[in-house]
Amino acid sequence: MAVLALDQVIPFDLATPIEVFTRTRLPDGREPYQVLICGVTPTVHAGAFTLQPPHGLDALAEADTIVLPGCADPAPVPEKVLDALRQAAARGARLASICSGAFVLAATGLLDGLRATTHWRAAGALTALRPAIEVDSGVLYVDNGQFLTSAGAAAGLDLCLHMIRRDHGSAVAADAARLSVMPLEREGGQAQFIVHDQPPAPRGSVLEPLLRWLQDNAAHNLTLAKIADHAGMSPRTLNRRFREQTGTTPLQWLHLARIRQAQHLLETTDHAIDRIAGEVGFGSPTAFRDRFRRVVGTSPRGYRAAFRG
């Protein structure tokens, strides 16, 4: 994996893929990614400091994935950079941009005719610059297969975790998310195959035992009244405590727990979708399909096709 540091690179955008991918581990302890930092010039200005990238553009010719961080003051991209990126794409390399790195990727012409995103403040400028791109400023990231783009700042984390999940499955992505102290789903973004996990309660919270119980009993027919009774609270108090400590309601948390379990079963078993619906606690396969599509952004069958194996 090559991370391209152009002049005026945003340090956060540059550090995100370095930290996430170098800390990723497979279940047997192996490191699945080798990350190379590449530059066009020996010295790169990066806000409050300067960098000396150890690799040049030649490293792009060997990379399976090239990550393009954003730049604070995007300047015209050198033609030799655009040529190197086009050549990498032609041999099948995956290209991913973070924040205003979408402008670098867009300058290659490779995003023309595709949907893409960038920081919401820069979305209008990207549309004006490349009208052939369908710019969506309301999502955390867009995955077109070979070409991926993400919104600003922390959305780069979402994109990196998504790529890890695509490459190595949900368990490896979940471990990477925990190392980054990053929730696998964030409020306000489109689902688009984002790994769905639960908002955690603070350590030592009175909800910790209840959350474990909900996780273990998600397949049962649980109503708000039953959950409140188990917690020894009124439904109103339970709802208030849940919102204070997790940012969601008990039933929304439960629905996400069931969808998360369904994702795991879709990835790891051959069980029929109707059977999975029952195993994770949905009384109706139709209700399951509806909820799954709303949360994950695709059908259970489409999810299995994308992530099985």
pLDDT in the model for residue 121: 85
Divide the 309 residues of the chain into consecutive groups of 10 and give the mean pLDDT of each group: 96 96 95 96 92 95 96 88 97 96 97 94 92 90 94 90 90 86 52 44 66 88 92 91 83 89 89 94 92 84 76
Under CATH, domain 196-309 is a member of which superfamily? Answer: Homeodomain-like (1.10.10.60)
pLDDT in the model for residue 190: 38
Spell out the residues 6+ positions from residue 191 whose beta carbon is closer than 8 angstroms to its own. Answer: 185, 294, 295, 296, 297, 298
Helix (H, G, I), strand (E, B) or coil at 135: strand
- Buried b / exposed e over 215-243, threshold 16 CB at 10 Å, is eebbeeebeeeebbeebebebeebbebbe
CA 68 to chain centre: 16
Angle at CA of residue 207, ends 201 and 212, nearest 5°: 90
Backbone phi and psi for residue 196, each to the nearest 5 degrees, phi listed first: -105, 115
d(CA 207, CA 241): 8
Would you tell me how many other CB atoms lie within 10 Å of the CB of residue 48? 6
pLDDT in the model for residue 56: 95
Topology at the third CATH level for domain 2-179? Rossmann fold (3.40.50)
d(CA 5, CA 40): 8
CA 130 to chain centre: 25
Tell me which H or E stretch contains 65.
strand 65-68
Residue 155 near residue 138, CB atoms below 8 Å: no
Delimiting residues of CATH 3.40.50.880 domain(s) in the chain: 2-179
pLDDT in the model for residue 204: 52
Delimiting residues of CATH 1.10.10.60 domain(s) in the chain: 196-309
> Could you tell me the two tokens for 286?
């139709």
pLDDT in the model for residue 68: 98
Query: pTM (2 decimals)?
Result: 0.64
Q: Which of 119, 107, 116 is nearest to 144 (CA)?
A: 116
pLDDT in the model for residue 246: 76
